[in-house]
A and B are shown apart, each in its own frame.
Chain A
């Protein structure tokens, strides 16, 4: 098989991700093989013959190699496992059936026994300070189907959305209708953080919560200090509390 320019590399080593390492090794093998087939002359191969010799089918074979070995891929966009359930890990916690028992369970969530009717169920980074804490009904929103339903039927009053997508597009058409947001990812500078601040919707990002179920009454300590860009850069620990309101659900 032909040798590649980068096969000798004094400082380079394996990729950090096993998936990337496996994919790149497989693509390099394809390049070596096709280069040899073309006569082994790189300069006539790289931007000419390779365009027809290295194909989309070859790349499909790279992914198939891992699937055949039993690997299922992590998913991030809901469309991906919907279209190819055989290629991705199972989707959980998005259907109405799942919601009865589903909850985010973060190992670093700070919890405490109820005191004065408030039971701490976690903490997060406050996006902006408000005059009052924010209390409402917890509703998990984790898929476009759920957003579509709320878009058509309206978001129930008093909803505090519990989300694990720090982006600004999933909940775009209904974000303004939330009373508050608890987001299990991102930072106060993520798109969702930026938008909730612009709309004046109380929000905690990077929330580490545990035991909050669909329909629970929850309260966000929105009166607490916001976490600033400087806090992130200096690794300042600055969080506000998330409570479940005892006996209110």
Chain B
């Protein structure tokens, strides 16, 4: 997987870096600086960036020995795991590049160092993103005007048809709303104050007056994170998806950071339909939860709400007793391991790869007191005031018009003889201040140990992605709807649907709307 070092490749790599400069700056400055009295947030974020710089290239190469970035992207349309967004879509390139930029500014590396790693990481990102967003045809959400229509019609129709209608004040509305509030709060705590356990995609147009947003709550149960061992034992599902139909508003922004914005503003009274699912890399698409009847769905929302609330209280007490180094580890691992699910999908997951702090990054931990962590993060992502980020005064950066750039491109001078180094090297050992990870992983097939999970991952391919189906895209469906092959493809997603089972590929959106309760 060595990338060719030539002008075309460098031009592309630097363009991919620049795309992340523009969007990341926008994301950073349109949010507030995140602070916490509980977690040393900026300090652990900085540590995670170094972990990403030193480990991502090796870990991605390891993953691609079993599964390509393109196939990982394809499979990711069939499930809601965290690696998708904000994982690969934002975290992968940006955590890696932020680590690189910080090291450049400490004089520890040069812009000409590890350039094969840089080219490879950006190329992996490109290939995964293009496959993930195959249905909307973009490389990123910003390229689509901050929109993400990941789902195919086959999947969207099932979500649409199976929505249960609700209105402000009724029991289902209240139960769904309460669960989403609890799951959001629990997600912030699991992710050490960050929002990376929460994610949305869409919107999907249901009718003239209604759009659907798909909300994902991820890594909720005992699985990868040592800090959830025991305390989340009672949480039944690791990943939960809530489909949400809204009326009288248009979601004009659905970004990589789990934010959505609507015009007029979305409020509880605009929520008119909900559905509930779980999924992971071992499930055949999205598995309905409590969707057999309205009463079952209300009961399921209430049950899951109680489960996450209990886990949240237990987790909060555990974390309140953590040392600062343990909080740093948990936070840094949360960030760094934002793409760990790629290893699960490929069946090459290893606890030591993802749940430990690389010893090369660990050397810099003593720098990361609260004040330095806050200031260096602020300069790196907001002020862009590090020396490496300053450009000629003629330059005007997108969004700010300032002569700055968040990330340093690879100098083209390496093509004319300037010396460079190709890679930061292989995987080095890691350390942890956290208790040893319990060998339990909650999946859609129940709880498994680490070896069982990897084996099951290696053996499974969702029916929609087997070789004969993988390339049956939306354009093919347009011209082949109603054929035996197209019906069989649609029935893969319809088999668990309470409304569409066996209905095939010919239904229009309005016909699906007509089948609803």
Contacts and interface: CB of A to CB of B under 8 A. Distances in A.
A19 to B, nearest CB: 5
A74 B390 contact: no
B324 A169 contact: no
B349 interface: no
Contact of B379 (A15, A77, A200): A15
B39 to A, nearest CB: 6
A169 B38 contact: yes
- Which of B31, B106, B375 has the most CB atoms of chain A within a 10 A radius of its CB? B106
B313 A78 contact: no
B265 A226 contact: yes
- Which of B109, B372, B428 has the most CB atoms of chain A within a 10 A radius of its CB? B372
A78 B38 contact: yes
B460 interface: no
A172 B424 contact: no
Nearest to B195: A191
Contacts of B450: none
Given A79-B40, A167-B34, A167-B36, A195 B387 contact: no
B189 interface: yes
B370 A73 contact: yes
A189 B40 contact: no
A158 to B, nearest CB: 21
B312 A76 contact: no
B39 A16 contact: no
Contact of B38 (A62, A144, A186): A144
A79 B371 contact: no
Contacts of A27: 106-108, 367
A59 B113 CA distance: 22
A229 B112 CA distance: 40
- Which of A20, A74, A88, A229 has the most CB atoms of chain B within a 10 A radius of its CB? A20
A94 to B, nearest CB: 9
Given A11-B391, A60-B366, A226-B265, A43 B419 contact: yes
Nearest to A28: B107
Interface string A141-171: 0111001100100000000000011111110
A39 B37 CA distance: 46
B191 to A, nearest CB: 9
Query: How extensive is the interface on chain A, given as a class?
Result: 35 or more
Given A77-B324, A80-B324, A83-B324, A54 B363 contact: yes
A63 B367 contact: yes
A16 B385 contact: yes
Contacts of A96: none
Interface residues of B, number: 82
- Which of B32, B104, B261, B428 has the most CB atoms of chain A within a 10 A radius of its CB? B32
Given A24-B106, A27-B106, A78 B31 contact: no
Contacts of A14: 387
A169 B39 contact: yes
A128 interface: yes
Given A76-B374, A168-B193, A59 B265 contact: no
Given A12-B387, A17-B375, A59 B367 contact: yes
Interface in A9-58: 9-17, 19-20, 23-24, 27-28, 31-32, 42-43, 46-48, 50-51, 54-56, 58
Please list the 8 inter-chain residue pairs (A to B) with the smallest Cβ-Cβ separation, ordered nearest first.
A12-B387, A198-B181, A17-B375, A28-B107, A167-B36, A168-B188, A73-B371, A59-B366
25 contacts: A14-B387, A15-B387, A17-B376, A31-B108, A46-B109, A56-B362, A56-B365, A59-B363, A73-B369, A73-B372, A76-B37, A76-B41, A78-B37, A151-B313, A164-B37, A166-B32, A167-B34, A167-B41, A172-B189, A173-B317, A186-B32, A189-B259, A199-B181, A199-B185, A228-B265
Interface of A: 4-6, 9-17, 19-20, 23-24, 27-28, 31-32, 42-43, 46-48, 50-51, 54-56, 58-60, 62-63, 73-80, 83, 87-88, 128, 142-144, 147-148, 151, 164-170, 172-173, 175-176, 185-187, 189-191, 194-195, 198-200, 226, 228-229, 232-233
